[in-house]
Amino acid sequence: MKTTFAALLAPCVLVSSLFAGLSAAAQAQTMNDAVYQGLGAKSGISKIVADFLPIILADQRINAAFKDTDMERLGAMLAEQFCELSGGPCKYSGKEMKEAHQDMKVTNAQFFALAEDLQIAMEKNNIPSSVQNKLVAKLAPMQRPIVTK
49 inside domain: yes
What is the value of pTM for the model shown?
0.76
72 inside domain: yes
52 inside domain: yes
> What is the residue-level pLDDT of the chain in tens, covering all 149 positions?
555 544 544 454 444 444 444 444 434 444 478 999 999 999 999 999 999 999 999 999 999 999 999 999 999 999 999 999 999 999 999 888 777 788 778 888 999 999 999 999 999 999 999 999 999 999 888 888 888 87
- State the total domains in the chain: 1
10 inside domain: no
Q: What is the pLDDT of residue 2?
A: 54
Can you give the length of the chain in residues?
A: 149
Distance CA 120, CA 126 (A): 10
Work out the number of other CB atoms within 10 angstroms of the CB of residue 70: 10
Distance CA 122, CA 101 (A): 24
Q: What is the pLDDT of residue 104?
A: 78
46 inside domain: yes
Residue-range definition of the domain harbouring residue 100: 33-146
Distance CA 138, CA 56 (A): 20
16 inside domain: no
Give the CATH number for residue 57: 1.10.490.10
Q: What is the pLDDT of residue 101?
A: 83
Q: What is the pLDDT of residue 34?
A: 93
